[in-house]
Amino acid sequence: MADYKAPLRDMRFVLNEVFEVATTWAQLPALADTVDAETVEAILEEAGKVTAKSIAPISRGGDEQGCRWEDTAVFTPDGYPQAYKTYAEGGWVGVGGDPIFGGMGMPKAVSAQVEEMINSSSLAFGLYPMLTSGACVSINTHASEALKATYLPKMYSGEWAGSMCLTEAHAGTDLGIIRTKAEPQADGSYTISGTKIFITGGEHDLTENIIHLVLAKLPDAPAGPKGISLFLVPKFMVNADGSLGARNLVSCGSIEHKMGIQASATCVMNFDGAVGYLVGEPNRGLAAMFTMMNYERLGVGIQGLASGERSYQNAIEYARDRLQSRSPLGAQAKDKVADPIIVHPDVRRMLLTMKAANEGGRAFSTYVATQLDIAKFSDDAAARERADNLVALLTPVAKAFLSDLGLETTVLGQQVFGGHGYIREWGQEQLVRDVRITQIYEGTNGIQALDLMGRKIVGSGGAFYTLFADEIRAFIASAEATLAEFTKPLSAAVDNLDELTAWVLDRAKTNPNEIGAASVEYLHAFGYMAYAYMWARMAKAALGKEAEEDFYASKLGTARFYFARLLPRIHSLSASVKAGSESLFLLDEALF
């Protein structure tokens, strides 16, 4: 496996040249005095070093060894506790955290780049700080000042970790039917009883305490999702002076044996009358948890991107070195017994597909992260509302499309290796096993597509979509003629999605099945159109500079490949959507 190298040049390009994020930050008072170009550059450089030197080298060993469960205790692989300590001491767990409680206070557009680096170096390792950061978001947004002061500083510092406890054996996506109970106590606390499954980082040996955010129901809670409350449940109780007290009545009953992410502890967690504290309002827990989940869903999309990036780095090095056959045009490396496989058209197809998907995904995830920053930090109510609506629209696309393409690109990297890609020592098969979970957790991609189609498109009457489409049209209208080779197919892609959106909106009025039938293909058509917008913006930033630096020439060549070979996928996707739902219901259940 090639040594991991953070794609810092491309990250700088996206932040500084494509989106000019410094201009956006300057208009957000909460960030204007916190973020500057020098600080961001230092953060990216240092994150690149720590992930490449401390995290990436333990990824394969962590996969080979996996986590170990012994009588409720979980032990991570060799090297993980020390690597986590190094990562935490650098302040990386709190890179996006509130400075009032010791976080760095960086915008999401910056922390998203750090997330990519940590997940490229080891997706399993990256899950531990990811869950902690997400838990901090919910606590900081919804918890009392006392809870924030007690828990956030230690969580941002990485001394304590966090987990998100939603799923139960009988209740996956349908959280309204959870059975975990919360009983109020005279001192204002609650006792939490129930069992949660698939809990990432529910137990481990990386930190001295773990803070669980748990969904549970109060005795008088209404039925369904409106009866869910959110509780903070520490592994160890915290004394008034901040020191750790007695062990709480929460324990790990087992860990799952999984396809991938072997070094990430996926736990069954038992709450046996554990002491917990209400976060936010009673029966409003799902809304509080969704504050965390919007950030986590973008984060899961970034995991897909990160896996594709790591696979690409391995594949391009292999393709340059591996000698096999001669080019269709004749010998290129005449001094060698064969040409490197990068001369072959199909290998180039695979590599360029990976490169175009990765770089398009990096731009798109940064765009969504910037909208999150505007929604959080802007003092302009209209700007906040617009950004909120865009985040609502684009979050399911970011989660599902980035992770779907993440699997595709990771598998393509494995394919470049041929038989060696199937052999453990080259690292590609681990990446394929690890990335597969990204399409499943934080809401399966089918659920994300249903959210996009049902809640965000049909639910808004197409208004959220129009907001995004109008922005793209404004970009096209303002573009110079030299950009026409990119804006013309982009315009056609927007027109196509306009028509597709109108078709589904119309059919859904008389047949609710059309929403679910169209959702996955619609999300993919949306994703390819959104990436076309990203690639047009990147082409604009690169055009005219190709003689200055090979980077820009590479960017323009990849943009042309995207528009020529990947964007046309929207036509088959659109045809599938317009085929309607009828064929899905031709078979009675017994005929399957």
By annotation, the residues acting in catalysis are 442
Whole-number Å distance between alpha carbons of 534 and 562: 11
Whole-number Å distance between alpha carbons of 241 and 160: 16
Token representation of residue 23: 């201009």
Residue 562's contacts (CB-CB under 8 Å, 6 or more residues apart) are 356, 360, 531, 532, 535
Whole-number Å distance between alpha carbons of 416 and 403: 20
* Angle at which helices 569-578 and 484-508 cross, to 10°: 10
* Angle at which helices 37-50 and 108-121 cross, to 10°: 10
Polymer length of the chain? 592
Residue 197: how many other CB atoms lie within 10 Å = 20
Alpha-carbon torsion 247, 248, 254, 257, what sign? Answer: negative
Whole-number Å distance between alpha carbons of 388 and 549: 37
Residues 368, 400 contacting (CB under 8 angstroms): no
SS3 label, residue 200:
strand
Residues 254, 265 contacting (CB under 8 angstroms): no
118: region left, alpha or beta (phi > 0 left; psi from -120 to 50 alpha):
alpha
